[in-house]
Amino acid sequence: MHDLPPGPGGKRRQKTKGGFKTQREAQRALRASLDEVDRGYAAPTGRRLTVGQYLDDWLESKVNLRWTTANSYAGHIRLYLKPAIGHVRLSDLRHEHVQEMFKALRTRPGRALSPRTLQRVKATLNSALNDAVKRRQLAFNPAAHVELPRVAASDRVTWTPPELRYFLNFSRDDDLYAALYLTAMTGLRRGEVAGLRWADVDMDQARLLVANERVEAGARIDDLRPKTSSSERYVLLDVATVDVLRVHRRAMEERWSMVGRPDHDYVFTGPDGGPMRPELLYRRLQRLARRAGLPVIRFHDVRHTHATHALEAGIAMKVVQDRLGHSSMYLTADTYSHVQPAVAASAAEQVARLVLGAHGLALADGEHGDPAPGTEVGEQARTSRSDLVGPVGLEPTTKRLKVSCSAH
């Protein structure tokens, strides 16, 4: 037993714990408890708070969550977290409890969770336990270092450039062609496409602002601001994409001249001219892919396709991160790590072309070894760069530069 910092009104508080087999165990526990007090942490003593009770309290306190996120958190807590660790006292929760829970979730017969779902459940638990640390209800987050299976890159199916080009040509006459084309060329999320408004599209400046997202879950649909500051972003457009949007705008104006202008400003609409259900984009994509004889992919995989093509084209990781609206470059790099070997190989070739020129360096016949300082060859080798290298451009050219080499 030892004293804790005073409670409200200066009320004295104490912590008592027993059941130790030896005096040494009791002393070790006392030292650990006093260390926690020194760090400013002390578990609640007026109530034996369990993990389940804490998770319920935590979710209720998260008043700024999107309703879709709140529903996701509630499902994870109800289906997975409370049944496995809800009975454990929060102050007693350890890494081993969490690791054993995830092992059971990924190995239960017939109902094993996928790596992707496991990662989402862990994200919910991490968020809750990190808040417990901030509130000094825990000294550390027991879930922080739990290892889970990685989401395999094969789970992200993408189209090759020829496949994407074929799809866009095949779907040219579809009424959602402009929406699908924009997605392919920008990597926008489904809700970002459905929620895009003409007021946020600047065709003269060839850019759009992601400032609204249509979110759908069940029968409920809401217009919400992007979830994070990085998701609210400007996305630059290529000339062809601007042309597609101009044609789409003219088609909409022709229809408005016949049926009247709608009371909304959405770029893309449903069959009745009203706001679009985001689900419509997913269904249309899959229907057209089947008709075209292409691999059937998720709508989010079009986003992965855009990012993969951008990285393979040599676009900087930071630029791709900004276009996608990722919160960190680490997330972009981790998501598309399977692309990196090809990008690295391409980068090596580009650097070689930049330094050596389009045809590389010519090797002089009959020369071996490096030219010695002070020799005639050595003096020639120090001829000024302006005499050796032609005008500087994207790919510097060389003039009569020869390199001697020898095998060692």
Taking only the tens place, the pLDDT of each residue in 102-145 is: 999 999 888 899 998 999 999 999 999 999 999 989 999 999 99
Query: At residue 382, does pLDDT exceed 80?
Result: no
Confidence of residue 374 (pLDDT cuts 50, 70, 90): low
Top-confidence range, 214-218, 309-313, 343-347:
309-313
Instruction: Give the mean model confidence (pLDDT) for residues 212-234.
Output: 87
pLDDT band at 403 (very low <50, low <70, confident <90, very high): very low
Mean pLDDT of 62-69: 87
Lowest mean pLDDT among 65-74, 124-133, 187-196: 65-74
% of the chain surpassing 90 pLDDT: 51
Q: What is the pLDDT of residue 393?
A: 42
Q: Is the pLDDT of residue 191 over 60?
A: yes
| 208-209-211 Cα angle (round to 5) | 145
Mean pLDDT of 196-218: 93
Residue 312 confidence (pLDDT): 87
Residue-level pLDDT at 4: 57
Is the pLDDT at 398 greater than 80? The verdict is no
- DSSP code at position 224: E
Section 11-24 average pLDDT:
70
Sign of CA dihedral 302, 304, 309, 314: positive
The band of 392, judged by pLDDT with boundaries at 50, 70 and 90, is very low
Q: How confident is the model at residue 11 (pLDDT cuts 50, 70, 90)?
A: low
pLDDT, average across residues 28-36: 68
Average pLDDT over residues 307-313: 90
Portion of the chain with pLDDT greater than 70, in percent: 77
Whether residue 210 has pLDDT greater than 90: yes
* Ranges 180-189, 316-325, 327-336: which has the least confidence: 327-336
In a 13 Å sphere around the CA of 302, the CA atoms on its Cβ side amount to 27
Non-local (6+) Cβ contacts of 384 within 8 A are none
How far apart CA 274 and CA 110 sit, in angstroms, is 42
Burial of 126 (0-12, 13-18, 19+ CB in 10 A): middle
pLDDT of 67:
86
pLDDT band for position 33 (cuts 50, 70, 90): low
Write the DSSP symbol of residue 366.
T
Measure the CA–CA gap between 354 and 397, rounded to whole angstroms. 9
Please give the pLDDT value at position 389.
Answer: 41
The mean-pLDDT minimum among 125-129, 253-257, 383-387 falls in 383-387
Say which residue, 368 or 84, is predicted with more confidence.
84
Tokens of 41: 């942490």
Which pLDDT value is given to residue 386?
44
Q: Residue 38: is its pLDDT beyond 60? A: no
Distance between CA atoms of 208 and 393, rounded to whole angstroms?
33
> Which of 5-14, 240-249, 298-307, 376-385 is least confident?
376-385
- DSSP of 142-198: TTTT---PPPPGGGS----HHHHHHHHHHTTTSTTHHHHHHHHHH---HHHHHT-BG
Work out the pLDDT band at 170, boundaries 50, 70, 90.
very high
Query: Which CA distances in Å does 152 have to 116, 143, 264, 280?
Result: 9, 22, 41, 28
Would the pLDDT of 356 be above 90? no
Output DSSP code: residue 203: T
* Distance between first and last Cα of the chain: 75
Q: Are 281 and 196 in contact (CB under 8 A)?
A: no
Between residues 108 and 331, which one has the greater pLDDT? 108
| Low-confidence winner among 48-57, 126-135, 257-266 (lowest mean pLDDT) | 257-266
Q: Which residue has the higher pLDDT, 218 or 369?
A: 218
The mean-pLDDT minimum among 6-15, 26-35, 178-187, 227-236 falls in: 6-15
Token duo for residue 324: 């996608």
Mean pLDDT (the chain) is 82
- CA atoms of 261 and 248, how far apart (whole Å): 15
pLDDT band for position 400 (50/70/90)? very low
Residue 305 has what pLDDT?
A: 93
Q: How would you classify the pairing of strands 402-403 and 362-363?
A: parallel
